Every structure is written in C-alpha cells, then in structure tokens.
Structure 1
Amino acid sequence: MTRSRLRRKPPAGITLLEVVLSITILGSSMATISELVRVGGVSAARARDMTNAQLMCESKLNELVAGVIPIAAATQQPVEDIGLVDLWYYSVALTQLETQGLVAVQ
C-alpha cells in the first residue's frame, strides 16, 4: 500500500458535539443581548421621566417668578399643564431669609 492510501481523509461536515456547542454559545449570547436590551429600555424610560420632571420643575419655577402662580406654600399639587395630571405633583416650600423682604422658594 502506498502512503496516500493509508492516510485517512478528514470527515466531511461537522460533528454533533460541534453543533451542540455552537447552539449553546448562540443561546447564551442571545440571552445576554436580550438582557442588555431590557436594561437599556429601563434606563431610557428613567432618563425620559427625569427629563420630564426637570422640565416641569423649571416651568413651575418660571411661573412663580412671572407671577402666574401666586408665591405661596403648596403641597402635592397636580401638574395641570400636561395630559398626565395624575402622575406628576409639585410642592412649594417658602423659607424667610435674614434679609428683609427676601424669601427662598424651593
């Protein structure tokens, strides 16, 4: 026999072990990516809510400065400027300062 006949050809195709291993890697990577997408969605919603809260707070402070809303203490007042009346509330706290006629508004 010649050397070329004794040499075995590698099997064509892939083995079952390689298929199972590749499916396991694919499944774990898909699970990781889906978790990252979920965390990203939660973070985006939180950032959106914080931005809305900051804009509403600035708007209410500007209304107080302009005199649209009287400067008086208020607790848990609904924000009526937007369609989500039941979701957002604001409070106004007044503190008398040492200088006559000045009030700190929070």
Structure 2
Amino acid sequence: MAAQTRTAVGSEATIASTRNKLVLEQAKAAGLLGAAKNTRVSGRVPSELIEAAKKRAHVTSDTELLELALSRLALEDDFGVRLVARKGSIPSDIDLGV
C-alpha cells in the first residue's frame, strides 16, 4: 500500500511539473515572460496560504509560485462566462433525441 501511495504522489508531482511547464511556455509564447524581471511584487498573506499553494503546485520558491499563479491568471480563458451567457439560448422545445 505504501508503494502505491509513493507512486501516486510521484505521479501527481510529475503531472504538476508538466502542467506548470506548459503554463510557463504559453506565457512566454504570449510575451508575458521574458528574460527581464523588472518588477518587484510585495504583499502580506498568510504563510499557510503560501505553503498550501506551493504544495499544490509542487514548487519550492515564492518567485516560482508567483510566476506560475500570475501566468495562470493572465492566460485564463473566459469559457465559464461565455457558457453562462448562453443560458436560455437553445429553444426549450428542441428535440435532443434522448
């Protein structure tokens, strides 16, 4: 059972690493990340929040966490908003064949 747990954790870390790499590659392709790091961000947040986010994202530094989080936010699509906006756009008498 312990071997399965280690495998699951290792697998989770591999998936997170791949996902993080893809997000950062997309941010670079969109011109959001480059060689120059020219802005400093500062703020106070609970340490528990930072540690939980690092654990979830499988990153170790605050800089990695901020880069990843900001990249995800900047690249986020508006699928949810568009889906909700379509509510009621399909006629209620349409035959869906189910």
TM-score range with shorter-chain normalisation?
0.3 to 0.5
The structure with higher relative contact order (CA 8 Å, sep 6+) is: 2
Q: Which has the larger radius of gyration?
A: 1
Relative to the length of structure 1, the TM-score reads 0.36
Which structure: greater strand fraction?
Answer: 1
Which structure: greater helix fraction?
Answer: 2
Relative to the length of structure 2, the TM-score reads 0.39
